[in-house]
Copies of this chain bind each other. A is one copy, B any other.
Amino acid sequence: MKKPSIPKGTRDFTPQEVVKRTYITDIIKRCFMSYGFQPIETPSFENSETLMGKYGDEGDRLIFKILNSGDFLRKVDDTTYSEKDATKLTSKISEKALRYDLTVPFARYVVQHQNEITFPFKRYQIQPVWRADRPQKGRFREFFQCDADVVGSDSLWQEVEFVQLYDAVFSALNLKEVVIKMNNRKILSGIAEVIGAEDKLIDFTVALDKLDKIGEEGVKKEMLEKGISETAIEKLQPVFNNDGSASEKLTLLKKLLDTSETGLQGIKELQFIIDAIEALGLQSANLEIDITLARGLNYYTGAIFEVAAPKGVDMGSIGGGGRYDDLTGIFGLKNVSGVGISFGLDRIYLVLEELNLFPATVSANTKVLFINFGNKESLYAMKAISKLRGLDITAELYPDEAKMGKQMGYADKRDIPFTVLAGDEEVKANLYTLKNMKSGEQEKVTFDKLQNLLK
CA gap between A182 and B19 in the complex, in Å:
32
Closest residue on chain B to residue A94 by CB atoms: B67
- Among the interface residues A50, A118, A122, A393, which one has the most CB atoms of the partner chain B within 10 A? A118
Please provide the chain A residues from 89 to 124 with a CB less than 8 Å away from any CB of chain B in the complex.
89-90, 93-96, 98, 108-109, 111-113, 116, 118, 120, 122-123
Copies in the complex: 2
Contact (Cβ within 8 A) B39 A364:
yes
Closest residue on chain B to residue A410 by CB atoms: B118
In the complex, whether A428 has a CB less than 8 A from a CB of chain B is no
Closest residue on chain B to residue A119 by CB atoms: B410
Contact (Cβ within 8 A) B397 A157:
yes
Q: Interface on chain A toward B: helix, strand, loop, or mixed SS?
A: mixed
In the complex, whether A234 has a CB less than 8 A from a CB of chain B is no
Contact (Cβ within 8 A) A41 B12:
yes
Answer whether A399 and B158 are a contact pair too, CB < 8 Å, given A39-B19, A112-B4.
yes
Answer whether A331 and B1 are a contact pair too, CB < 8 Å, given A71-B86, A113-B12, A389-B35.
yes
Chain B proximity mask over A6-28: 1 for CB below 8 Å, otherwise 0: 11001111110011001000000
Answer whether A13 and B36 are a contact pair too, CB < 8 Å, given A1-B332, A81-B84.
no
Answer whether A33 and B157 are a contact pair too, CB < 8 Å, given A69-B61, A112-B3, A280-B386.
no
CA gap between A22 and B96 in the complex, in Å:
27
CA gap between A397 and B94 in the complex, in Å:
45
In the complex, whether A350 has a CB less than 8 A from a CB of chain B is no
Please provide the chain A residues from 391 to 409 with a CB less than 8 Å away from any CB of chain B in the complex.
392-397, 399-400
Answer whether A40 and B15 are a contact pair too, CB < 8 Å, given A7-B45, A34-B389, A84-B73.
yes
Which residue of B7, B34, B42, B392 is within 8 Å of A394 (Cβ)?
A: B34
Which residue of B50, B160, B168, B279 is within 8 Å of A389 (Cβ)?
A: B168
- Among the interface residues A30, A84, A388, which one has the most CB atoms of the partner chain B within 10 A? A84
Please provide the chain A residues from 256 to 299 with a CB less than 8 Å away from any CB of chain B in the complex.
276, 279-280
- Pairs of residues from A and B, 3 with the lowest C-beta to C-beta distance, nearest first: A15-B38, A155-B399, A10-B43
Chain A positions near chain B (C-beta within 8 angstroms):
1, 3-7, 10-15, 18-19, 22, 30-31, 33-36, 38-47, 50, 61-62, 64-67, 69-74, 76, 78, 81, 84-86, 89-90, 93-96, 98, 108-109, 111-113, 116, 118, 120, 122-123, 128, 130, 132, 142, 150, 153, 155, 157-158, 160-161, 164, 168, 276, 279-280, 331-332, 364, 366, 372, 378-379, 382-383, 386, 388-390, 392-397, 399-400, 410, 413-414
